[in-house]
Amino acid sequence: MSRMSVLQSLVRPNFNFAVDVTVPLSGTTGVYGPSGSGKTTLLRCIAGLEPDAVGAINVGDAVWQDANGRLSPSQRSVGYVFQEPRLFSHLNVQQNIEYGFQRRTGDADIREIATMLGIEALMNRPVADLSGGEAQRVSIARALASAPTILLMDEPLASIDQRRKSDILPFLDRLQASSTLPIIYVSHSLDEICRLCDHLIVLEDGCVTAEGPLQDVLLDADVPALSGFETSAVIDAQVIAFDSDDELTTVRFSGGDVLLSGHIGETGQQIRLRIHANDISLTRGSEDQTTILNRLEVEVEAIHHGEGATRIVRLRAGKEKLLARITRRSVEAMRLAPGEQVTAQLKAVAVRQS
């Protein structure tokens, strides 16, 4: 598989950025970390917008930067979606989208891109008349129309108010599903990342603290940025039934069936579940009466130290893994140990359809 390797360092007052990271040139790679951790800097380095950054960048067989020199931003075939739309105010929507298309020799289909992003009707509008969500969709279209070899997205939802995010997320899902274009997606929302990405890079204080397939990185109990509320695991599952009386959807994965409230998707559809460690409790076997719908038979794989007097228990459910955060007292009271069979009760499950 083709890869991009990024070795960059940049020294600023109060901020040292030094990363050495490999990004697969397929699928969507999430870059996650707290504010000021260097997420945007990483994208800017890749795009060539940080002239003071030293190091090397290789994209497949192409060299974008090494000790001998560097390509200017216009020579790197990136599509960059910034936090703000950054549309050119003297051009209308169509002219904005055509700006990169005319300058790069790609085979982008502007009409198809516009349809995918739902902006066909806006093409003749001045950009000042667009809402925040529309403007951001136009900026995504503009980046795609330049037929990039990789799409860099820097918190494209950050400048859009919460209610309007749902105007864009479905388009991002569609973009991923319909193209083979590799995407690097920066966000400080792990929910967005779990929804969109299959590879994850975690940045803290200008350094990479974890990288790898999304599922694996999430299970790494030693990454500070993934502690606390964010501790979670993701599972890919398939919709198998919908009970219209109880309004419950049944989804299946190798570890069992899970019931989700509402009509989640059509039968056969693949969906991704995110399950927070705080939403799992453990019991031993017995048929207790409980309001919790979802109970999975799991095996304890490992017990790690969590924050304070908590423990993070890694569980195996079929071929998938889950994390549960429980108190040290509970671990001792239940005498939990690796290899034991227990029942995991899921209080809540976040869902992403694909």
Partner 1 sequence: MSEPLWLSAQLAITTTSILLLLSTPLAWWIARNRSVAKPVVQSLVALPIVLPPTVLGFYLLIVLGPAGPIGSWWVSLTGSTLTFSFAGLVIASCIYSLPFAVQPLVSAFEAIDQRDLEAAWTLGADRRDTFFSIAMPQARRGYFNAAALSFAHTLGEFGVVLMVGGSIPGETRVVSIAIYDQVESLNYAGAHQLSLILLSIAFVMLLTMFIVNRRGGTV
Binding site for partner 1 (CB under 8 A): 47-49, 72-74, 76-80, 82, 84, 86, 88-90, 99-100, 103-104, 142-143, 146
Nearer to partner 1, 51 or 285 (CB): 51
CB of 204 to partner 1, least distance (A): 26
Nearer to partner 1, 100 or 206 (CB): 100
Least CB distance from residue 143 to partner 1, whole Å? 8
CB distance 12 to 19 below 8 Å: no
Give whole-number Cα distances, 353 to 173, 216, 319, in Å: 8, 21, 20
Phi, psi of 169 (to 5 degrees): -50, -45
Q: 156 or 255, CB closer to partner 1?
A: 156
Based on DSSP, count helices (H) and strands (E) in the chain, helices before strands: 8, 21
CB of 339 to partner 1, least distance (A): 52
> What's 260-306 look like in SS3?
EECCCCCCCCEEEEEEEHHHEEEECCCCCCCCCCEEEEEEEEEEEEC
Which residue's CB is nearer to partner 1, number 93 or number 326? 93
Q: Tell me which residue of 154, 179, 190, 9 sits closest to 79, measured CA to CA.
A: 154
- Contacts of residue 225, Cβ cutoff 8 Å, sequence gap at least 6: 32, 33, 34, 37, 202, 203, 204, 209
- Least Å distance between CB 92 and partner 1? 13
Closest separation between CB of residue 145 and partner 1, Å?
9
Pick between residue 47 and residue 349 the one whose CB is nearest to partner 1: 47
